[in-house]
Structure 1
Amino acid sequence: MIKRLLLGFVALLVLAVIGLFALAWRRTIDPIAPPQANSFATDLVSRGEMLAGAGYCASCHTARADQPYAGGYAMATPFGTLYSSNITPDPDTGIGRWSEAAFVRAMRKGVARDGSHLFPAFPYQHFNLVTDEDLHALYAFLMTRAPVKAATPAPDIPFPLNVRALQAGWKLLFFRDRAFAPDGSKGAEWDRGAYLAEGLSHCSACHSPRNQLGAEKMGDQRYAGAVVDHWYAPALTAANPAPLAWTTAEIETYLRQGGTALHGVAAGSMSQVIHQGLSRLPDSDIHAIAVYVADRMGGDAKRTGNDAALAQAMTRAGVPVNADIDPGAHLYAAACASCHYNRGPMPAAVRPELGLNSALTSPDPSTLIQVILHGMGTDEGLPGLAMPAYAHALNDQEIAQLAAWLRRTQTDEPPWTDLPSKVSALRTPDGGASGQH
């Protein structure tokens, strides 16, 4: 009896494995001779360059500045480390022998030319919304880049999670193969913004928390905010805790310039998104994205409370620091006040008012700690402005005291917990400022 049960179990297991691989099987698409760069129209390539910026392709597929799009960029996940692939037209290590059909399948289905499933760190679940015309232009752009011979490192993911056939099961659970469908009721700008934000720009990939299998949470958790590469991407919903509403005008300025006087400056991965990606989009597309995101956040509807919130923030900013005996106040006076102090009814964009900044009002302190530790370069945030790094000047306890004092005196949000441990974790190289969106 036991032997029969064992044989039956083994038979079921074999059938399950066969069924899984049958489900996962995808045909190999024949290789092609690498197309000549001059076979693509110049205006088509230019449009593809803009679209590559909208999708932040260079941010994820560039590990070395002198080898753009050659891949090898390490991406830490809860399941192990993945490395981005080489998407230059090198025929041996890149996509030089990929036909446009193979490229489109990878973008929309998450399947490589050889039929293997791509891991969902590549956001094909967003790219499947992109139109045929835009994928055609993107293919033309990539196929006209300088080919770079650079093999992609094997993913450092333990067995059995490294078995690509298992991705077919993940897709059954979480992947919805669909085309973009305009809403139609909110205007052409909203529809254009939705197409860009949900498709190539894949905004929810960073701004949504993920479940235990690495899929974006849906429903009211979508766009609810998440930690990505040791930075906090705030909620893009009405739950965003910014004191002043994110109106269409504010979002548009932020996405175009890298910061605003009423919301502070972009840092970390978001700075890359703005300055290395969205900068290639025309103003009309930036405005469209702002229309869409502001609608999601209810920003234009909430703007009536902005005057009172601004007045409260500026009142707090004007309280003399030297009268406060808190150690955090002394640290602020010594290290921060000379650059961040604002006087009057309006803050200056070049002197970010911390009480208005999402880094201080968010439920997670990662972004604030990252900026204090590692500073900001002149190519981040508002171009030309910089903030020094305090990793060597302040210890973990001092940075925790500074962050706690700012949170307590400049916001109405509850205190952060276990700040010294958080600072210690983010001080390490793995928790450093080099993040990807």
Structure 2
Amino acid sequence: MTKNLSRARQARASVDALHARRRYRLATLAALFSLFALIVAWHEAQRPRHPRKDEMPIAQAHADDASEAADSSGTPTPAAAADLVKRGEYLARVGDCAACHTADKTRPFAGGLPIETPFGTLVTPNITPDPDTGIGQWTDEDFVRAMHEGIGKSGERLYPVFPYVEYTKLAEHDVLAIRAYLNSLAPIHYTPPHSSVKFPFDQRWLMAVWNMFNFSEERFVPDPKQSAEWNRGAYLVEGLAHCGECHTPRNATYGLKADSRLSGAVVRGSRAYNITPDKTSGVGGWSDEELERYLSTGATPGRPTATGAMARVVENSTQYLTREDLRSIVQYLRSVPAISGGETRAHGQ
């Protein structure tokens, strides 16, 4: 009898100890989560609440031109407004906005394109000026904030499949030109399907943590040691054209690997090749004329033809680039660090 009581007490003690260990683990996890939340909150509190001033010296010249093209009330003249829309259309093509925001060509820029990611399916939004289903009720400040900070109208964190990591480098006057162009489009009343993102990635606030490791809000600053053409190429490749989004491999958090920039990657089953100036693995053996022709037509004699995602980039975007911008892009690509290996194209492919 005594032995049975002793065993029962030992069993209860073991159960109590197990429960105590579980409570301790839960308390530890709760404490760690609270600390994590405090770090995120502190990071958010330190973030500037006002849009940063444009850091490109050329921006002031544009602002001066705009003021000269306005009437006494500050309203742009019809000719100036038309020029702004035309410039915005060109910039939207360089940024390849239609590629992601057009699922049905009868509804341009109305969104609805599903994009598969390791975290779920994201569906692109309607960016026509429809007031109910698009961005018709967005202010210019809302639009700039989304482009520069990755934050939507209601304060929600945007997923980085929208390349704000690169768009943050855009001069504000270029962002507003794109906005003016989008405002000129016919409003399309269409609500795209909801995105389907796995837990916990459906918690948008977690993007603040992702930003800590993969995003730095800053405008492009020209390098005074480089030519105007080189700086224009850097502005396009690293910013508006966001070439790295496809041509740079990802790290464990799905951010871009800085030490493998432009060395190629596989994106949603499509191969984006090494475009560094390595002569074996990259495009170092291509002439400037070959690269420019490839970007503008998708084909160069003796070289591979653009296929898949790159063919769509040429169709929707790079074929519309001016000769000056094509030359600038090529000049900049010549200057990036050459990387041997990466996602290379087999000979004759």
TM superposition score category, shorter chain reference? 0.7 to 0.9
How far off is 1:13 after superposition? 5.3
Tell whether the 8 Å contact from 2:128 to 2:134 is kept in structure 1 after alignment. Answer: yes
**Displacement of 1:236:** 1.4
The 1:90–1:225 alpha-carbon spacing in structure 2 relative to 1, beyond 3 Å, is same
Q: Please tell me whether the aligned partners of residues 88 and 174 of structure 2 are also in contact (alpha carbons under 8 angstroms).
A: yes
Cα–Cα, structure 1 residues 244 and 199, in superposed 2: closer, same or farther, change >3 Å? closer
- 1:28-427 aligned within 5 A: 41-219=81-259, 221-239=260-278, 241=281, 245-296=285-336, 363=344
Unaligned segments of structure 2, at least 5 residues: 1-16, 51-77
After superposition, the Cα gap between the structure-2 partners of 1:261 and 1:28, relative to the gap in structure 1 and judged at 3 Å, is: same
Deviation digits for residues 351-407 of structure 1 (CA, Å, limit 9, x no counterpart): xxxxxxxxxx96477xxxxxxxxxxxxxxxxxxxxxxxxxxxxxxxxxxxxxxxxx6
**Structure 1 residue aligned with 2:61:** none
Cα pair 1:197 1:289 within 8 Å, conserved: yes
Map of 1:336 onto structure 2? none
CA distance in 1, matches of 2:133, 2:316: 25
Give TM-score, length-normalised by structure 2: 0.77
Q: Which amino acid is 1:281 matched to?
A: L
Q: Cα RMSD between the aligned structures?
A: 3.0
Question: Which range moved further: 17-26 or 170-179?
Answer: 17-26
Distance 1:46 1:168, change over 3 A: same
Post-superposition shift, 1:247? 2.4
Q: Return the offset for 1:242.
A: 5.9
Equivalent pairs counted in the alignment come to 298
Q: CA deviation at 1:154?
A: 2.1
- What amino acid sits opposite 1:47 in the alignment? R
Runs of 4+ in structure 1 over 6 Å off = 25-29
Q: TM-score, normalised by structure 1?
A: 0.62
Structure 1 vs Structure 2: percent identity of aligned residues? 38
For residue 238 of structure 1, report the CA deviation from its aligned partner. Answer: 3.3
Task: Tell me, in whole angstroms, the C-alpha distance in 1 between the residues paired with 2:343 and 2:147.
Answer: 33
* Change beyond 3 A, Cα 1:284–1:238: closer
Q: 1:242 to 1:15 in 2, by over 3 A?
A: closer
For 1:279 and 1:288, the matched residues in 2 are separated by: 15
Please give the alpha-carbon distance, in whole angstroms, between the structure 2 residues aligned to 1:179 and 1:170.
Answer: 20
* CA displacement, residues 257-313 of structure 1 (integer Å, 9 cap, x when unaligned): 221113232111111212211233222111211211233377xxxxxxxxxxxxxxx
The runs of 5 or more residues in structure 1 that have no matched partner are 30-37, 299-360, 366-406, 412-437
SS at match of 1:81: strand
Tell me which structure has the larger Cα radius of gyration.
Answer: 2
